[in-house]
Structures are given as C-alpha cells and as structure tokens.
C-alpha cells in the first residue's frame, strides 16, 4: 500500500486540480493553496492538505 502524499509538486497539483501553473501561483498568492520549499534547493510543492481543503470548499453546496 502506497503512503498518502503530503506534498504535491507543482505539475502534480496542476494535474490534480486541472488548472494551469499560473492559476496555481494565483491561488497561492490568494492564500487558497499553501506553497512550501522542499529541502534546501529551489524545489517547492503544494501541501496535500491545502489541495484537499480547496477541493472541499469548491464542492460544498451554497447555503
């Protein structure tokens, strides 16, 4: 059994959400996704928790 992902690379987040790279960074800037640095390199990723939370917000019915 494969462990659950904690961080998605940018291209994985793009595929998961079905949006462009520009939209990913726009969502990060608005605080809807959380971007973290991976190690001491220039690599970064989006937390799985923030992706899940965003998907839950977008699928929640309007009151």
**Are the C-beta atoms of 34 and 28 separated by less than 8 Å?**
yes
What's the pLDDT tens digit per position in 19-35?
Answer: 999 999 999 999 999 99
Is the pTM higher than 0.85? The answer reads: no
Q: Mean pLDDT score of the chain, rounded to an integer?
A: 89
Residues of the chain with pLDDT under 50: none
């Amino acid at each position: 059994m494969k462990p659950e992902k904690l961080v998605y690379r940018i291209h994985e987040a793009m595929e998961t959400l079905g949006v462009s790279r520009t939209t990913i960074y726009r969502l990060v800037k608005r605080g809807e996704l959380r971007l973290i640095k991976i190690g001491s390199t220039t690599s970064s990723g989006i937390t799985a928790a923030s992706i899940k939370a965003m998907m839950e917000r977008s699928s929640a019915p309007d009151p």
